Amino acid sequence: MSKTSSSLPCDLCASRKFSMFSELTEEQACTISDNKNMISHRKGQVLYYEGAKPLGVYCVNSGVIKVFKTASNGKEQIISLVKKGGLLGYTALLGEVNYTNSATVIEDAKICFIPKESFLKTILSSGPFFKRLTKALSHEIGVMEEKLVDASQKSIRERLAYLLLQLANSYGLDGEEHQKIDLVLSREEIASLIGTATESVIRLLSEFKKDKLIELKGKKIIILDKDGLVKLSDFYA
């Protein structure tokens, strides 16, 4: 069950530095703060459904959200994972179309809902914000193109190794000899992220463990050999 929390002013929000709102002036941040609502969401709750009309945007204060599309057979295809500072729903809002995907909470979250009018007013009044928004849209297109190439040219083994590197980079805990991915994803969700069957993920994770690339503790994954995964993923930084 969702519940409304006392809205934290944007200028005091620790997650703001990670978001596109980081360069807003105090006045612009106040405009957002005066009109937003912060809501606490539990794991499994839906933010919005594919096909619904966007009435505003969502800014993640804490937690993790999965953005996905549902195929005609009911199977999910995860598009992205969004963490603190991330902005959701703005592409549909700016394009004046219904949502083309759905968003669900996969780790308890606090999320600010910003109404359409306030969001559009901020875009018009802030050149730096508009520039960051345009850059984010271009990045999303680039990510989609990269995924299409990976799906056609990279093996499942390479895609899984690369995904583990991305998860370690975004959710890895520092200060340990080995890097634990501090995010619990089901084997089905991992399979959805790389576009394969759950059975293939289970088999490959077992092989990665046998090759001492990773360690498995329940659903948690620990990276043992990052260089080995880089080589396996055919990724060159």
Write out the two tokens for 142: 């680039």
Contacts with 156 (C-beta within 8 Å, 6 or more apart), sequence order: 194, 196, 200, 204
Query: What per-residue confidence (pLDDT) applies to 237?
Result: 38
Q: Taking each helix axis as running N to C, give the angle between helix 26-35 and helix 116-125, from 0 to 180 degrees, rounded to the nearest 10.
A: 170
> Counting beta carbons within 10 angstroms of the beta carbon of residue 124, is it exposed (0 to 12), middle (13 to 18) or buried (19 or more)?
exposed
The per-type count for the chain, helices as H runs and strands as E runs, is 8, 10
Query: What per-residue confidence (pLDDT) applies to 170?
Result: 87
**What's the chain's length in residues?**
237
Collapsing DSSP to helix, strand or coil, 73 comes out as coil
Query: What per-residue confidence (pLDDT) applies to 201?
Result: 96
Q: pLDDT, tens digit, for every residue of 26-72?
A: 788 778 888 889 999 999 999 999 999 999 999 999 999 999 998 87
Query: What per-residue confidence (pLDDT) applies to 66?
Result: 96
Residue listed under structure tokens 């329940």: 218
Query: What per-residue confidence (pLDDT) applies to 151?
Result: 60
Spatial CA neighbour of 112 closest among 204, 29, 211? 29
Query: What per-residue confidence (pLDDT) applies to 112?
Result: 93
Mean pLDDT of residues grouped by 10 in the chain (237 residues)?
62 73 79 88 95 95 94 85 93 93 96 93 83 79 68 83 91 75 92 92 96 92 92 68
| Residue 73, number of CB atoms within 10 A of its CB | 5
Query: What per-residue confidence (pLDDT) applies to 149?
Result: 64
Collapsing DSSP to helix, strand or coil, 102 comes out as strand
* DSSP 8-state class, residue 51: T
Cα separation, 171 vs 37, in Å, equals 26
Cα separation, 166 vs 147, in Å, equals 13
SS3 content of the chain, % helix, strand, coil (to 5): 45, 25, 30
